[in-house]
Amino acid sequence: IIITQGKYIASAVRADQYPEGDLPEVVFIGRSNVGKSSLINSLSRVGGLARVSGTPGKTQTINFYELSAKIPSIEERRSFFLVDLPGYGYAKTGQANRKVWAKFIEEYLLKSPRLQFVCQLIDIRHDPMKSDIEMFNWLVENNLPVLIIATKADKLSKNAVQKQVKQIKKVLGVPDLDVLPYSSVKSEGRSDLLDVISTVLVE
Ligand code: GTP
Ligand code: MG
């Protein structure tokens, strides 16, 4: 599929702030600084669409971006939302704040009728951390389809990427899990991810 446009639509911390309509949604979740906002920029090819920062905790609200795509296989255009979430596993906000975070994110993940699947991002340079494993298990328990995206793949050699993909599956305890290596810097994995997204758009 070919992305023809990407634009910011809305930010939300409550259900009544979610955008109206029935466009399908793909959501990005992961530890602070793992590269969620960068991935949204690389998918949309609109630089600066989602705010990126070297300091963890940049994204604080649920942010909706609408992408338009041409789908050659069905000769049609489709629009959909990419949904950026605040990162988890970042201690500075403190315990009380983290509980608030968990609640409004949880509400979104459990209640959005348009959510198609969850992309959980894990930094390819490290094994999944405790918070990643807990999040993954929570998503699975709640019957949310998960695609694991191993980010910052440009930081490792090709061999090391393959080795770490296996390691991520092992640590999460699911040998046949889909794990997609991705580099927002090099746009690696972009067409694979767009292929996955197109399967939910043509259904
Ligand atoms: P929060 O909003 O704080 O939860 O972070 P985030 O997950 O949205 O991460 P963000 O996209 O802001 O990126 C964090 C840092 O990682 C930035 O300095 C990015 O430039 C860097 N980064 C993101 N993706 C990649 C990548 O694919 N390769 C490399 N080398 N750096 C990346
Ligand atoms: Mg972000």
Q: How far is the CA of 151 from the centre of ligand 1 (A)?
A: 9
Q: How far is the CA of 74 from the centre of ligand 1 (A)?
A: 34
* Cα–Cα distance list, 201 to 17, 106, 127 (Å): 24, 24, 32
Map tokens 């906000």 to a residue: 93
**pLDDT at residue 171, as a whole number:** 96
Is the domain 2-201 a CATH 3.40.50.300 member? Answer: yes
If pLDDT is split at 50, 70 and 90, which confidence band does 93 have?
low
Q: Which of 28, 53, 156, 188 to mutate to test the pocket of ligand 1 (most atoms within 8 A of CB)?
A: 53
**pLDDT at residue 102, as a whole number:** 75
DSSP letters spanning 18-77: SPPS---EEEEEEBTTSSHHHHHHHHHT-TTSS---SSS----SEEEEEEEEEEGGGTEE
If pLDDT is split at 50, 70 and 90, which confidence band does 92 have?
low
pLDDT tens for each residue of 2-53: 999 999 999 999 999 999 999 999 999 999 899 999 999 999 998 889 888 8
pTM of the shown model: 0.94
Q: Which atom of ligand 1 is nearest to the CA of 86?
A: 4
The protein residue whose alpha carbon is closest to atom 30 in ligand 1 is 152
Distance CA(109)–CA(3), nearest Å, equals 25
pLDDT tens for each residue of 117-175: 999 999 999 999 999 999 999 999 999 999 999 999 999 999 999 999 999 999 999 98
Q: How far is the CA of 75 from the centre of ligand 1 (A)?
A: 34
Stated length of the chain: 203
Map tokens 């999944």 to a residue: 128
Contacts of 190 (CB under 8 A, 6+ apart): 42, 43, 182
If pLDDT is split at 50, 70 and 90, which confidence band does 203 have?
confident
Q: Is residue 100 predicted with pLDDT exceeding 70?
A: no
Q: Residue ranges of the alpha helices (H) in 45-189?
A: 94-111, 130-141, 158-172
ipTM given for this complex: 0.99
Domain spans, the chain: 2-201
